[in-house]
Structure 1
Amino acid sequence: MSFLKRPNDFLFRTLVIVASVSLATLSLLVIYSVVMRYVFSDAPDFVEPIALLLVIVIAMFGAALKVREGGHIGLDSLVNKLPPRGQLVATAFQHGCLIVFAIALFFGCLQMVEATMEDRIPIIGLPESLRYCVPVIASVCIAMFSLENLLALFAQKQK
């Protein structure tokens, strides 16, 4: 189990830092945009595309972080009413579904990266594929975190 815990700890810390910096940057960018628009009547064009990229980073990395913490969407009220073995099966099924979702997200976004590689985001000129690279990274993290949780679940059952 430790073979996956150490790399996942590093990934988790990295995602926390990137998501936190992205959220702080987004906050500052929005404040800057509001001040420029309403105080100086000079709205900067570049704020919206950058803000969209930051929102994608925050949402996707935040989702991966919640998977690691076990805070993802689940039917806890139903699962808690099941007997212990049923809870184990439901939780294992949940993590299995998350892994399948992560794989689908990975390949879907990878196709979009390839399809939009030559396109540019208007105003800022960055490759359009950048929007799809973030979910590719997040899907790998979701799969690794779900696998870690699944292995921990079965290791706990063995005890």
Structure 2
Amino acid sequence: MSFLKRPNDFLFRVLTVVASTSLAVLCLLVIYSVVMRYVFSDAPDFVEPIALLLVIVIAMFGAALKVREGGHIGLDSLVKKLSPKGQVIAAGIQHLCLMTFAVMVFIGCLDMAKTTMEDRIPILGLPEGLRYCIPVVASVCIAMFSFEHLLALFVKKQK
């Protein structure tokens, strides 16, 4: 199982650094924007499109990180009442659903990225498809993390 755990550990650390850095930059950017707008009456126009990209990074990579940690939303009160075998089955279904979700996000966002890559984000001049590339990366991570959890269920079951 280490064939998947090591790359996922590395990916987890990279996502953590990127999401944390994005959050810090977003905070600084918002403070800068507020000071410029209300103190100097000179609102920068580039803050909003950058902030939107950062929010997408934080939300999507944060979701992937929570999947790896096993901290996503669940119906624990129902699952805890199940037998141990039922709990394993519920966890397996949960990870299969997460992997299906990740595949759907991947397909949809990849299609949108291809469709909008020629368009430009106003003010920044970056490709509009960049907004959709972020969820593509996050969906791959979600699928890999869910697959790792699913394999762990089978390894525990066999022992």
Which TM bucket (shorter chain)?
Answer: over 0.9
Query: 1:25 is matched by which residue type in structure 2?
Result: V
Q: What is the letter of the counterpart of residue 5 of structure 2?
A: K
Correspondence for 1:32:
32
Give distance in 2, aligned partners of 1:24 and 1:84. Answer: 42
Is residue 138 from structure 1 mapped to residue 143 from structure 2 by the alignment?
no
Distance 1:24 1:106 in 2: 27
Separation in structure 1 between the aligned mates of residue 130 and residue 95 of structure 2, nearest angstrom: 28
- 3-state SS in 1 of match to 2:120: coil
Other-structure match for 2:155: 155
TM-score (ref. length: structure 1): 0.99
Consecutive unaligned residues in structure 2, runs of 5 or more: none
Secondary structure of the residue aligned to 2:157 is helix
Counterpart in 1 of 2:91? Answer: 91
User: What runs of 5+ residues in structure 1 fail to find an aligned partner?
Assistant: none
Q: Alpha-carbon deviation of 1:74?
A: 1.1
**Could you tell me how far apart the structure 2 residues matched to 1:101 and 1:144 are?**
12
Give the SS at the match of 1:114.
Answer: helix
Query: How far apart are the structure 1 equivalents of 2:153 and 2:17?
Result: 27
Query: Which deviations, in whole Å up to 9, do the C-alpha atoms of 1:16-70 show, x marking residues without a partner?
Result: 0000000000000000000000100110000000000000000000000000000
Match of 2:13 in 1: 13
SS in 2 for 1:126: coil
Give, in whole Å, the separation in 2 of the partners of 1:77 and 1:124: 47
Displacement after TM superposition at 1:72 (Å): 1.1
Q: Is 1:123 equivalent to 2:123 in the alignment?
A: yes
- Is 1:3 the counterpart of 2:3 in the alignment? yes
Q: Could you say what the CA RMSD is over the residues aligned between the two structures, in angstroms? A: 0.5
Q: Take 1:126 and 1:73, find their aligned partners in 2: how far apart are those partners?
A: 34
> Number of aligned pairs?
159
Q: Which runs of 4+ in 1 moved over 3 A?
A: none
- Aligned twin of 1:111: 111
* Secondary structure of the structure 2 residue equivalent to 1:131: helix
| Distance in 2 of aligned mates of 1:30 and 1:153 | 43
Match of 2:55 in 1: 55
After TM superposition, give the deviation of residue 156 of structure 1 in Å. Answer: 1.1
- Classify the secondary structure of the residue corresponding to 1:156: helix
Cα distance in structure 1, aligned partners of 2:34 and 2:157: 53
Taking only the aligned residue pairs, the percentage that are identical comes to 79
CA distance in 2, matches of 1:67, 1:153: 15
Q: TM-score, normalised by structure 2?
A: 0.99
